[in-house]
Amino acid sequence: MIFNIEVNQKTIKARKGDTILETLRRSGISVPTLCNMETFTPTGACRICVVEIEGRDDLVPSCSHPVEEWMKIHTHSPRVIHARKTIVELLLSSHPDDCLYCIRNGNCELQDLAEQLGIRERRLPMVKTFIKQDPSSASVVRDPAKCVLCGRCVRFCKERIGISTFDFIGKGMKTLVGPTFNNQLNVSNCITCGQCIMVCPTGALHEKDNISQVQHALQNPQKYTVVQISPTVSVSLAEEFNVKPGRELDGLLVATLRKIGFQKVFKTAFGADMMVLQIVDELMQRIENKTLLPMFSSDCPAFVKYMEEYHHDLLDRLCTCKSPQQITGNLIKHHFARQQKIKAEVIYSVALMPCTAKKFEAQRDENTHRGISDVDTVLTTRELARLIRLYGLDIQQVAPELPDSPFAIRSSAG
């Protein structure tokens, strides 16, 4: 059923069963929110999205209130703006004052709200919270002091990923979001998929930064630094640097990495081809022996960790083949090292990957042989973008170059 409502003294179309926020967004009216996520049941937890409805004494959260035919709504009245501003000021009163040093500086929803609402001074006394960071995970850093209790990570991890690593802990002013019993992430059931980072509006959750380790290796004359590039990095990196759609980025990225100082640049897709061959071989053996079928295969470390956490009975059905990242890393440390007559321990191998779980995969004991890891460090696409900017390079102004042999050729499967 379609009917008319009045918003900011103008008539717009509304649909029965929708929330006020859904109706406003469909009409091109932006209302800020911190806790709301599309396709998820609204909670109204943050109250940033409140609107004023004529005939109602109180402001109502637009994300959870159904739209009705009689409504006359004001989305940016003085009363609404004052309420939103007060809520953000309350959040800022207990939020660390380290925006200049925060990894989410310039990409923080709380910071954006303060900018939109014109908050230029601290009117409320600051309530300092002394909560230590949790850097225990190989992939994800948790900083509870920057959490705004929006609950996005809690809901996404539970409803979309099906893991429930995070939950609300404590009551009142002592409420936190964290793993069960407020344990560290490395002893929780976290599968390091990194999706909590994607939905977190602040710097409360972010990937572990490994840029400094890469810099030290690049500056160390005793290290032979090599890098492998995942095929999936190019697309998201192109968006990061506003490269026009359709422009080939692979050659530009290879040239940029050489300018940064990497001595060899390889393609992870070579390892993907090797993985396909090994998977087929293992599957054929299982079919011939009529055992351990069906066979599951995934190069995603988060999926493997999920199987280890929740499906012990199916672990023998997992393909035993390494991921393309680890195959390429192993070939670099052994085949390439012998070919170049370089000791494996001298090579510092970096992998450029789109996923935080790859950081966890690289440090697993299974991927270390005689104390030498197949891959020494993994950088996500965001870290790679920061590294390129750190060295002052314009990726669109370099001449494209080809990757190095022998790990440069790939098939369409790779």
Q: 209-414: which CATH topology? A: Rossmann fold (3.40.50)
| 330 in Cβ contact with 275 (< 8 Å) | no
Whole-number Cα distances in Å, 378 to 163, 212, 213, 358, 363: 24, 12, 10, 7, 10
Task: Determine the Cα–Cα distance for residues 211 and 223; give it in Å rounded to an integer.
Answer: 16
Q: 90-207: which CATH topology? A: Alpha-Beta Plaits (3.30.70)
Place of tokens 């079928």: 293
Ordered by start, the domain boundaries in the chain are 2-76, 90-207, 209-414
The correct CATH number of 2-76 out of 3.40.50.300, 3.40.50.720, 3.90.79.10, 3.10.20.740 is 3.10.20.740
Q: What is the DSSP string of 160-204?
A: IIS----EEESSGGG-EEESGGG--GGGSS-----HHHHH-SSSS
Task: Determine the Cα–Cα distance for residues 31 and 77; give it in Å rounded to an integer.
Answer: 12
Q: What is the DSSP string of 216-231?
A: HHHH-TT-EEEEEE-T
Two structure tokens written together for 106: 């310039």
pTM: 0.90
Secondary structure of residue 412 in the 3-state scheme: coil
What per-residue string of b and e applies to 108-146 under the rule 16 or more CB within 10 Å gives b?
Answer: bbbbebbeebeeeeeeeeeeeeeeeebebbbbbbbbbbb
| 334 in Cβ contact with 370 (< 8 Å) | no
Two structure tokens written together for 74: 């004001």
Q: Is the bond preceding residue 231 a cis peptide, omega within 30 degrees?
A: no
Task: Determine the Cα–Cα distance for residues 280 and 304; give it in Å rounded to an integer.
Answer: 19
Between β-strands 72-74 and 2-7, what pairing exists: parallel, antiparallel or unpaired? parallel
Write the burial class of residue 341 (CB in 10 Å: 0-12 exposed, 13-18 middle, 19+ buried): exposed
Q: How many helices (H) and strands (E) does the chain have?
A: 14, 15
Per-residue pLDDT tens, the chain, 414 aa: give them: 899 999 999 999 999 999 999 999 999 999 999 999 988 999 888 999 999 999 999 999 999 999 999 999 999 999 999 999 999 999 999 899 889 999 999 999 999 999 999 998 888 888 777 789 999 999 999 999 999 999 999 999 999 999 999 999 988 888 999 998 889 999 999 999 999 999 999 999 999 999 999 999 999 999 999 999 998 898 889 888 888 877 788 899 999 999 999 999 999 999 999 999 999 999 999 999 999 999 998 889 999 999 999 999 999 999 999 999 999 999 999 999 999 999 999 999 999 999 999 999 999 988 888 888 999 999 999 999 999 999 999 998 999 999 998 887 777 766
